[in-house]
Structure 1
Amino acid sequence: MALRTLSAKNAAALDQELMSSGAFSIDQLMELAGLAVSQAVYKLQPLSKGKRVLVACGPGNNGGDGLVAARHLWHYGYKPTMYYPKQSKNELYQRLTAQLKSLSIPFTDDFPAALKETDHVVDSIFGFSFSGEVREPFPAVIAALGDTQIPVLAVDAPSSWNIEDGPPGDGPGKGYMPEALISLTAPKPLVKFFKGRHFLGGRFLSDSVAEKYGLDVPPYEGIDQIVEVPTQGEKL
């Protein structure tokens, strides 16, 4: 059975609830999200298939999830490279960036060159809150993600996709269909347009919160923070 989806409005409300009555900090939620992303990469790209992972980060929370994922990937034995052109001045993101630099994880400004030297890509540029025009330097980056034959994992949403309406009809994201998507907390309505492998990372919801928002919580195995789920969602 397809999982029910969570609108952008309800996703934002759920995040606020998790940080208020749920007593989670933004640091905790980002750590859990990034850990889930790293496990999805491990499922899709075993070390034996290639250790090089290019992580493309945007300036917001989606980018923060990518920063966390890269740290975990390094500890698993991967060789991440960071593309993070719009680095946030927020103290949390600065700490996450410092953690990566302390591990000597390289940062690059040349996305096309880095794309030629990687085995897998994590798209953590824009998430469920994205709307409007894709601004520089990301149009060329998203166009490159759409054209590459290298497998891409999108975090919560393929960058440039509308949360409700899916892929854009024109512009840099037209035709962009990553190999895999990891939905965080719950799938978003755009999943009905997605055709690749679909993972869910949300092993922290209480039964009461899941019931309040009408969410399906599939069984997670063992210590896994992710579960592979059907692609098609049912919009609430």
Structure 2
Amino acid sequence: MLVLRSTEMAAVDKEAIELGYPEIILMETAGRSVAREIDTLDELDNQSDIYFLIGGGNNGGDGLVAARYLKEWGYKNLKVFLLKPGENLSGINRDNYNICRLQDVEMEVIDSEKLNEFRKILNNADIIIDGLLGTGITGDARGLAADLIGIVNDISVNVLAIDIPSGLSLDFKSETVIRADLTVTLADLKIAQAVYPGRYYCGEIIIADIGMPAKAYRKIRPDYFMLSNQEAARFLPYRTETGHKGTFGKVLIIGGSAGMAGSVSLAGEAALKMGAGMVTIALPAAIEHDVNSHSREIITEALPDENGKISLKALDKIINISNKMDLVILGPGLGQGKEIAELVENLLKKLKPPIILDADGINTVRDLEQLDKSQKKILLTPHPGEMARLYDTTIPEILENRFDYIKDFVEKTGQAIILKGADSLIGLSEGEIFINPTGNDGMATAGSGDVLAGIAGGLVAQGLDLEKAGIVASFIHGRAGDLAAEDKNRYSLVAGDLIVYLAEAINSIIK
């Protein structure tokens, strides 16, 4: 699905109107969609106290339309509180204000001198409908709107936001933002809603279809997307009934070191659980027994080692093994050091299959030229610390400018990347960025990244290209974490739980 920036959303609205879709019809459809969502809430009935907070922008107009419909549908105790007098509204907002008056919708202008009294009024609501500020805001909320946002956040009342929580700007510069329990966003998801901290303020998000014509999107070229459940199902590789382990692909994992046998085991088990036909782990001879003792279905290839790490002497053997494989995962638990860096540099040059470069494989990269697309296809899977090391900068700098760093990486290398985090970003070679909607903080645990690399490897082995595999693997990985958290809790998750819930996560997509 599309994730739009403020300029893109404005361009779509403008194009729709120019195509002959009247603005008043857009608002009517949007307001009715909001009213319909309110009407379906189980905790409300026609006796519920529903209070609308209405500003002077278009989402305030959407709120006036929603109030009209609820009044028509028999809701008896709804009330509209206006940020400014209705006579001062303009255009179609003024028209909808006048229609509300004709329908005897109870309306009142908020008195900035009596905010303590107003707080008590709002505290009696069953739900507050937030239509104060829309997507046009830049910077932080100010004045009476900011005061009202503070009051709403300070009381214990459910909040439904129209389109976007008031104060949440699409340029990520806002700090004074309503915390909604539910956001009914109109037409398309907005970028600030898709990533943190904006996702935190939105609560559950419902995307309301307001009948925006397809032609309205023809003049924009969106860069941001988010995978839906239906799209994830379409991306999954096809499995033929007559397939065998060769059909479903062979994955080679190169990694492991003394004390880090679990990394390659987790990646290997995840690849198998995702559907790969066969998984081989090339690892230091010193840890082969450790891996074999708890990974029964995985084949191991013992390599010459030195101080518990793969020796550079193993290079030719690794190349020979890799020539029979469909994909290589390079890096889990590999360790660091001068010889490991030299080994990885040689492997990046000489390996023929596509590569998922993970963990210590990333940490050995000297500069982005080593990852140039002209040599082979690589999918990088760094967490912010590894990305910071790659760019010789700080983790806060990466987190503050994630989209910029992903775009820079893709432009310079032509490769795909998963920048892991609370809302992982997947950058594709043509410049598109997918924002992953699944996952939770319980997954912030050692080994979780190894599982992700294995899931992606299993998908590539079955025929999915690296870029689609990165998108789908992130989605399934997060879904497995969400299912595990539901059954257990977010404190107690470990990486192995993600593998346990992987089958259930796939079932939730293909059901």
User: TM-score range with shorter-chain normalisation?
Assistant: 0.7 to 0.9
Listed one character per residue, the Cα deviations across residues 26-45 of structure 1 (whole Å, up to 9, x for unaligned) are: 10111011111111212235
Report 1:154-169 matches (<5 A): 154-165=161-172, 168=175
1:118 to 109, 125, 129: 125
Structure 1's 95 and 81: CA in aligned 2 closer, same or farther, altered over 3 A? same
Contact 1:164–1:188 (8 Å) recurs in 2: no
Structure 1 position 25 matched with structure 2 position 22: yes
Residue identity opposite 2:182 in structure 1: A
Task: Give the Cα–Cα distance (whole angstroms) in 1 for the partners of residues 45 and 89 of structure 2.
Answer: 37
Report 1:92-103 matches (<5 A): 92-103=92-103
Q: Which residue in 2 is equivalent to 1:105?
A: 105
Contact 2:170–2:191 (8 Å) recurs in 1: yes
Between 207-216 and 23-32, the greater mean CA deviation after superposition = 207-216
Structure 1 position 13 matched with structure 2 position 11: yes
Q: Which residue in 2 is equivalent to 1:223?
A: none
Task: Give the Cα–Cα distance (whole angstroms) in 1 for the partners of residues 104 and 126 of structure 2.
Answer: 19
Deviation of the 1:138 alpha carbon? 1.4
Listed one character per residue, the Cα deviations across residues 83-142 of structure 1 (whole Å, up to 9, x for unaligned) are: 112243414222211221222222232542430232111111111111134232212210
1:199 to 206, 211, 214: 206
Contact 1:45–1:120 (8 Å) recurs in 2: no
Deviation of the 1:15 alpha carbon? 0.5
Report 1:141-156 matches (<5 A): 141-156=148-163
More helix by share: 2
Report 1:174-213 matches (<5 A): 176-191=178-193, 192-193=195-196, 194-195=199-200, 196-209=203-216, 213=220
Sequence identity (%): 23
Residue identity opposite 1:80 in structure 2: L
Between 5-14 and 47-56, the greater mean CA deviation after superposition = 47-56
Structure 1 position 77 matched with structure 2 position 84: no
Structure 1 position 66 matched with structure 2 position 63: yes
Listed one character per residue, the Cα deviations across residues 171-202 of structure 1 (whole Å, up to 9, x for unaligned) are: x43xx421011111101011123242111112
Task: Give the Cα–Cα distance (whole angstroms) in 1 for the partners of residues 107 and 161 of structure 2.
Answer: 20
Deviation of the 1:76 alpha carbon? 1.9
SS in 2 for 1:199: strand
Structure 1 residue runs of 5 or longer lacking an equivalent are 219-231
Residue identity opposite 1:142 in structure 2: I
Contact 1:74–1:80 (8 Å) recurs in 2: yes
Residue identity opposite 1:9 in structure 2: T
Listed one character per residue, the Cα deviations across residues 43-99 of structure 1 (whole Å, up to 9, x for unaligned) are: 235543852111101111111111111001111222221111224341422221122
Listed one character per residue, the Cα deviations across residues 179-228 of structure 1 (whole Å, up to 9, x for unaligned) are: 01111110101112324211111241334445765588x8xxxxxxxxxx
Structure 1 position 130 matched with structure 2 position 127: no
Contact 1:47–1:77 (8 Å) recurs in 2: no
Between 69-78 and 203-212, the greater mean CA deviation after superposition = 203-212
Residue identity opposite 2:53 in structure 1: A
Larger Rg: 2
SS in 2 for 1:163: coil
Contact 1:166–1:190 (8 Å) recurs in 2: no
How many residues matched?
A: 215
Q: Please report the TM-score for the alignment, with normalisation by the length of structure 2.
A: 0.39
SS in 2 for 1:92: helix
Higher RCO (CA-CA < 8 Å; seq separation 6+)? 1
Residue identity opposite 1:62 in structure 2: N
Task: Give the Cα–Cα distance (whole angstroms) in 1 for the partners of residues 70 and 105 of structure 2.
Answer: 11
SS in 2 for 1:115: helix
